[in-house]
Amino acid sequence: MKKLFAEFFGTFWLVFGGCGSAIFAAGFPDLGIGFAGVALAFGLTVLTMAYAVGHISGGHFNPAVSLGLWAGGRFPAKDLLSYIIAQLIGAIAAAGCLYLILSGKSDFIDVGGFAANGYGKLSPDGYSMTSALIAEFVLTAFFLLVILGSTNERAPKGFAPIAIGLALTLIHLISIPITNTSVNPARSTSQALFAGGDFTAQLWLFWLAPIAGAVIAGFIHKALLDKE
């Protein structure tokens, strides 16, 4: 249960901090933090919670990461479902808190995009489904390669959260204009549930592409990189 609570709190913080920065601070009015600020916020959520609870649960905070670690031989299959459920509950709880805060704004009408992920007309810069699929697949694959490499027993000790947090920052710097950046099905699900409409209809891609990228990266690392 401690592991599941750690995954709940870690995923909650990722969604609350990362998506919250996009919703409240990215464009606030003329002094917003912009894409770079949102990218840094996502990286900081993972870095901070990896140090806070990573020693308890492994610090996945992402169904794709759990599945990628399983593919890489680092995580048992029997724990996958419970971890993914805890991550989804944490993400949805965070999105609910963001909704409560946003709905208290004096001129609130609806949640708008709510930092949800999308392609086509829902892409921040109009990128197609194919572009979104490629970006999410490739970026999640490299995210897993960073995670698996930096946590390898032969890697320098104590620095993995920094490498992982910076990798997630870089991923967002690349792909916010493409899909609003997912690489995390739990994060995508929580925001789509509140944004609704076409965001929910497009949610399949933000499960398929990150999971496929993560699993393939896990197999690649196990076969090619996890040896002397």
pLDDT of residue 28: 80
Region 107-128: what's the mean pLDDT? 96
Q: Give the total residue count for the chain.
A: 228
| Distance separating alpha carbons of residues 150 and 159, to the nearest angstrom | 7
Greater confidence, 28 or 164? 164
Residue 47 phi/psi, 5° resolution? -60, -50
User: Is residue 57 within 8 Å of 4, Cβ to Cβ?
Assistant: yes
Q: What is the pLDDT of residue 228?
A: 57
Helix (H, G, I), strand (E, B) or coil at 127: coil
* Residue 172 contacts residue 140 (beta carbons within 8 Å): no
Q: What's phi and psi for 69, nearest 5 deg?
A: -70, -35
* Cα dihedral sign, 156-69-145-143: negative
At residue 48, the 3 state secondary structure works out as helix
* 61 vs 44: CA distance, rounded Å: 13
pLDDT for 31:
77
Which helix (H) or strand (E) segment holds residue 187: the answer is helix 185-195
Q: Average the pLDDT over 127-142 and give the result.
A: 98
Q: Note the pLDDT tens digit of each residue in 39-95.
A: 999 999 999 999 999 999 999 999 999 999 999 999 999 999 999 999 999 999 999
**Residue 50 burial (CB < 10 Å; 0-12/13-18/19+)?**
buried
pLDDT above 70 (res 188): yes
150, with CB counted inside 10 A (0-12, 13-18, 19+), is middle
Least confident of 23-32, 167-176, 205-214: 23-32
**Rounded average pLDDT over 182-187:** 98
Average pLDDT, the chain: 96
Pairwise CA distance, residues 113 & 74, whole Å = 36
**What does the pLDDT read at residue 223?**
93
Q: What is the pLDDT of residue 88?
A: 98
Residue 90 to residue 88: CA distance in whole angstroms: 5
CA neighbor of 35 nearest in space, from 169, 129, 126: 169
CB 199 within 8 A of CB 191: yes
Q: What is the pLDDT of residues 93-115, one digit of tens each?
A: 999 999 999 999 998 999 999 99
Q: What residue ranges define each of the domains in the chain, with the CATH number in brackets?
A: 2-225 (1.20.1080.10)
Task: State the pLDDT at residue 227.
Answer: 72
Read off the pLDDT of residues 10-47 as tens digits, 9 standing for 90 and up: 999 999 999 999 999 998 877 789 999 999 999 999 99
- Of the candidates 32, 204, 39, the residue with the CA atom closest to the CA atom of residue 117: 204
* The predicted structure's pLDDT at residue 100: 97
pTM: 0.96
Is 214 in contact with 140 (CB distance < 8 Å)?
A: yes
Q: Report the candidate in 14, 59, 62, 23 with the shortest Cα–Cα distance to residue 41.
A: 14
